[in-house]
Structure 1
């Protein structure tokens, strides 16, 4: 509205100095008559229609063999009374890749005039979904061009989601936004300190975030449009060869069965170092899904949920994260001859970088994003397999009220999501880096990055999120 009226004000003031005031009053009146929030939600089946190489678990030796239930992408579109929109897409996928997000963001801008920063894509990180990461599909494939298979699936998925967006945007209707939370207890830290170092095993003394935050989207008559809920835990109860959304898929299924017409969206939290325990059976995946859906039901039944008032604020930027000093050529040549095939493969990829580029990659840039709903809810979206320290720290440090947005000086609720917009690998905290183990170092052998990150990684991420939060909160105050 500002960019439209400013040139007009500058011209008309030469003839009639009262005109700008009239225009400003008309613009304000239009804003005041709009509903505080409008919203719409949709669900899209994204199960591959044929066997595909599956994501997760380097030990896989064959493509998928059918499905337990369908995989889904869920859409939630919200609009404030200025017409500003945010598009949230949650998926039953291992991760979000640039090949998936970038074309959707580009079409949002060109066709729907919604900025790229207003698109948040999150992956549940199920290890029983299709492998859409082209490089990993190529490396792990047994026969055939698995990379081409991943490319085709991604292309078809982009078109499905764009079609769903085009069909959902015209259905925006007046809604009320509310927030409540509960807890589910099956997530446990999986980094167990031992005399031989940190191993992947249940650690009941390790840090966890067992909150279940819930964004409730309902019509003025109290009927539910959507419930978006989060949890910080690897979606890895299962490790078989059938497509399945794991515990998060079951939680969404149970909620939609209990509330016909409502769309249930799962937002993966900072669960990079958390596992569902116990695990390794379909019954346990259902059990954890039921525990999570029960927690959401508790949140839905809260008598006085936090009402969300105000306007939408969005901020997004890239942060450059440095890697520690990469191994020298001589070290890589030694690793190439080890008996570990994954170390060998990693060494070969880094040696190829040396040959092709003249050096090994020293940093990685990825986007961070903050979505502010009035003065009531701050949603920080972080890339990568984010460990729980980020959620716990940001929940503490972002709780600073900004006032004058319709809710007094109430501190906003802080919701931190990992696995968003670009899931490139693990994002360790400084603590995890210093402790070592899988998330801090070892997992890098499955990527093309030298690893590990430099010790500046946590502070760079937290500082950028804080800056973006200030920008997003300020933008909610603009007329």
Structure 2
């Protein structure tokens, strides 16, 4: 494991000089730096006007639009750190696509990439964006076509324009955090009589039904936006040829209609979690998808009502580290992903897995990775975390495959065929994140 935190060692005298210098620098900062906590939200339509290859299931082109897809963007500013969280109604993008966009944002808007989190709801009925990245290694036959560069350019530009708009709209705000619960999902690794694992439903399997909720209010106490974190594959629909935000998008739109403000749906550790009703058992997704408004949407609204403590005294601290873990034997790689692997002197191929952290005051710890993570891992980390509110934001800043527990890896199944990791990766990640939460993140 490597970290981007460099600890400098000063003598006592140097520490005193450094402290005095730091204080003097803060005193000389413009008063705007101490304007207090501010936030904003922007919703941008990215529905294509022409037919697109849809990502999820087999290759197919869209013929119509079932519901629109969006970037939803929240910006938070504590006077020192400007943090951007994006939820896009897309299945996923390659980390190289994230790197490209983050570099543009840094150049044009001067926001450090460590403060840019681009997450994806993982709907399986939205267009491809950018090069396929790692999926082309697993599913090469699926990518016998070029991605649409015009549509990708549009998605990128609308994201950058949306962030610029969010910055202009920053206004004094308050923040509160809470938990909710919804039974809208189910473990999808079905056990067959002969011991095989297949995609289906496993009511006895591990699941995460916790809703993590962040509420942002305007200065006058009216609602600005909600950030709802819930683990659920975007697979209510089967391989339809209609563009759709699927279950996550339908839930977000419903909450928005009820509350009158945008809501960011942030997927969780959904690697082994399906929607309760999905393409596997209900091919007629149009019949069952409205039920998620009640099963999940109403539960989010209830959790929002239960948040009673709001504060304008908000401090943000973002950070990042890289977890290195062995790559699966014989696993290939793509050229655009060269920054996410390395080979040791002993010839061992490693995956360089980027993990992001956001600490809000002293009670909220959020971590994110470009993974379809099995829920047992995020559940364990949340249970062991020293922070009362610990959340995992999945599909963050790209996609680097499924990451399973060692136990589930040994059981086999579809997910083992689309993971770049060895069986030990789950423990490597758990140990690294827990050490960071209990160590670096606990520092004032």
Structure-2-length-normalised TM-score: 0.83
Question: In the alignment, which residue of structure 1 is the partner of 2:299?
Answer: 295
Question: In the alignment, which residue of structure 2 is the partner of 1:247?
Answer: 247
User: Residue 169 of structure 1: which of 167, 170, 194 is its match?
Assistant: 167
Tell me: CA distance 1:133–1:362, structure 2 relative to 1, closer, same or farther (3 Å): farther
Q: Deviations over 1:382-424 (max 9, x none)?
A: 22211111211110122x2xxxxxxxxxx43101122111213
Unpaired stretches in structure 2, ≥5 consecutive residues: 1-13, 335-342
Is 1:190–1:202's contact at 8 Å kept on the other side of the alignment?
Answer: yes
Question: In the alignment, which residue of structure 1 is the partner of 2:321?
Answer: 317
Q: Partners in 2 of 1:51 and 1:141 — Cα distance?
A: 17
Tell me: CA distance 1:361–1:289, structure 2 relative to 1, closer, same or farther (3 Å): farther
User: Residue 393 of structure 1: which of 377, 380, 403 is its match?
Assistant: 380
Question: In the alignment, which residue of structure 2 is the partner of 1:463?
Answer: 431
Q: Partners in 1 of 2:397 and 2:26 — Cα distance?
A: 39
| CA RMSD of superposed structures (Å) | 3.0
Q: Partners in 1 of 2:294 and 2:286 — Cα distance?
A: 12
Question: In the alignment, which residue of structure 2 is the partner of 1:407?
Answer: none
Task: Look up the SS of the partner of 2:124 in the other structure.
Answer: coil
Question: Does residue 381 in structure 1 map to residue 368 in structure 2?
Answer: yes
Question: Does residue 88 in structure 1 map to residue 88 in structure 2?
Answer: no
Q: Partners in 2 of 1:184 and 1:153 — Cα distance?
A: 35
Task: Look up the SS of the partner of 2:408 in the other structure.
Answer: helix
Question: In the alignment, which residue of structure 2 is the partner of 1:197?
Answer: 196
Q: Deviations over 1:237-296 (max 9, x none)?
A: 002110111111111111111222x11100000011011122231131221133211011
| Structure with more strand by fraction | 2
Tell me: CA distance 1:466–1:21, structure 2 relative to 1, closer, same or farther (3 Å): closer
Q: Partners in 1 of 2:101 and 2:418 — Cα distance?
A: 29
Task: Look up the SS of the partner of 2:434 in the other structure.
Answer: helix
User: Residue 443 of structure 1: which of 413, 418, 422 is its match?
Assistant: 418
Question: In the alignment, which residue of structure 1 is the partner of 2:182?
Answer: 184
1:118 shift after superposition:
0.8
Which of structures 1 and 2 has the larger relative contact order (alpha carbons within 8 angstroms, sep 6+)? 2
Q: Partners in 1 of 2:277 and 2:218 — Cα distance?
A: 38
Q: Deviations over 1:173-215 (max 9, x none)?
A: 1100001221111200011233332222211111110011111
Task: Look up the SS of the partner of 1:52 in the other structure.
Answer: coil
In the TM superposition, what are the counterparts of 1:224-243 in structure 2 within 5 Å? 224-239=223-238, 240-243=240-243
Task: Look up the SS of the partner of 2:41 in the other structure.
Answer: strand
Tell me: CA distance 1:148–1:185, structure 2 relative to 1, closer, same or farther (3 Å): closer
Question: In the alignment, which residue of structure 2 is the partner of 1:72?
Answer: 70
1:426 shift after superposition:
1.1
Is 1:232–1:270's contact at 8 Å kept on the other side of the alignment?
Answer: yes
Is 2:404–2:423's contact at 8 Å kept on the other side of the alignment?
Answer: no
1:311 shift after superposition:
1.3
The number of equivalent residue pairs is 405
Structure-1-length-normalised TM-score: 0.77
Q: Partners in 1 of 2:93 and 2:388 — Cα distance?
A: 28
Question: In the alignment, which residue of structure 1 is the partner of 2:262?
Answer: 263
Q: Partners in 2 of 1:365 and 1:234 — Cα distance?
A: 25
Q: Deviations over 1:309-336 (max 9, x none)?
A: 5411111122223123328xxxxxxxxx
Q: Partners in 2 of 1:198 and 1:112 — Cα distance?
A: 47
Question: Does residue 422 in structure 1 map to residue 393 in structure 2?
Answer: no
Q: Partners in 2 of 1:25 and 1:419 — Cα distance?
A: 36
Is 1:53–1:130's contact at 8 Å kept on the other side of the alignment?
Answer: yes
Question: In the alignment, which residue of structure 2 is the partner of 1:276?
Answer: 275
1:55 shift after superposition:
0.8
